[in-house]
A = this chain, B = another copy of it.
């Protein structure tokens, strides 16, 4: 931690800061500059609450060298984490995975038809929502447990493990009974009670970045689960909220190489939510894999024009099949082995 003093801070103010640092149990190292003095704080293990010093007279700002997370950091865990979901392995070095399915489960026919089609086209996992977060209360909110049962049915039929969203701490057990992986949606990235509950289970979790969350906050949210003992966390970038309205969100693709530097956890991209427009999805999906993503999530619907949610960003079955052919060629070009059993 570094404490930067004002230009005009006097000797007494500097000494008061040093004493405050020492009262916190650390040592203080003044660095006199030609324009102002800074004071280094030594001896802390991890993040320090700076409130004691931030408000002392003469203090201009406090700069943290340590971060609000540790277990998710590559600094402290250099080797890549590989996460197994059913028979699928996800993480650096493994062939990137494709998770596909409808935004929401709507009927047995819809989910079975989609599951069979995405399996045939080469998807590795099935996705679909049974509990749906919706902006307003007057729209379709998902089929609930009935939806979980249909996902499980489609999963058994096709052999595809599935991921589905969980929205509250008290339904974690229920969702975990059915799903191979649980998803935390963007709106819940900082629902800390939910994160703590997910830290206690032993199933992998897909954590989506909040629409205005920084990378540091995303990693700190993952830290909640690792701190509780669940190390099976996969991160997912799905676009952030910016001033641009031509797309639903703005994909922050640089997080892929950046998270590879900062963390050992796998990182996926969701081109469907990132763009919100079907016609943009294929280009972004392939770009994500080129950038080094460990996988992608895609919304696919047999009849997008009749979808109860997110129709405009869902690929058709034909569109998905075509994209998968291109993805297969791209992954081959990138030198990945075919997945076992493919």
Contact = CB atoms under 8 A, between A and B. Distances in A.
A309 to B, nearest CB: 7
A120 interface: no
A36 B65 contact: yes
Contact of A33 (B44, B220, B244): B44
A69 B223 contact: no
A316 B272 CA distance: 36
A137 B308 CA distance: 37
A71 to B, nearest CB: 9
Contact of A308 (B33, B51, B139): B51
Interface residues of A, number: 116
A128 B1 CA distance: 28
A159 interface: no
Interface in A14-70: 20, 29, 31-36, 38, 40-47, 49-56, 63, 65-66, 68-70
Given A54-B312, A247-B258, A280-B258, A42 B32 contact: yes
Contact of A4 (B65, B133, B228, B245): B65
B47 A40 contact: no
Interface stretch (A84-92, A111-119, A146-154, A167-175): A167-175
Interface stretch (A93-101, A200-208, A282-290): A282-290
Contacts of A55: 278, 304-305, 311-312
A324 interface: no
A113 B101 CA distance: 52
A20 B305 CA distance: 10
A334 to B, nearest CB: 9
B35 A42 contact: no
A329 B136 CA distance: 41
B34 A214 contact: no
Contacts of A49: 139-140, 308-309
B244 A54 contact: no
Nearest to A189: B187
A221 to B, nearest CB: 8
A134 interface: yes
A297 interface: no
A190 B187 contact: yes
B254 A252 contact: no
Interface string A196-236: 10000000000000111011110010011001100000000
A11 interface: no
A244 B214 contact: yes
A307 B51 contact: yes
A35 to B, nearest CB: 6
A339 interface: no
A214 B252 contact: no
A292 B136 CA distance: 27
Contacts of A342: none
Listed from nearest, the 7 A-B pairs whose CB atoms lie closest are: A51-B311, A212-B212, A68-B136, A31-B40, A168-B193, A290-B290, A187-B190
19 contacts: A2-B38, A36-B66, A49-B308, A55-B305, A55-B312, A133-B190, A134-B192, A137-B227, A138-B223, A188-B190, A247-B254, A250-B250, A253-B284, A254-B275, A254-B280, A256-B283, A283-B290, A287-B290, A287-B291
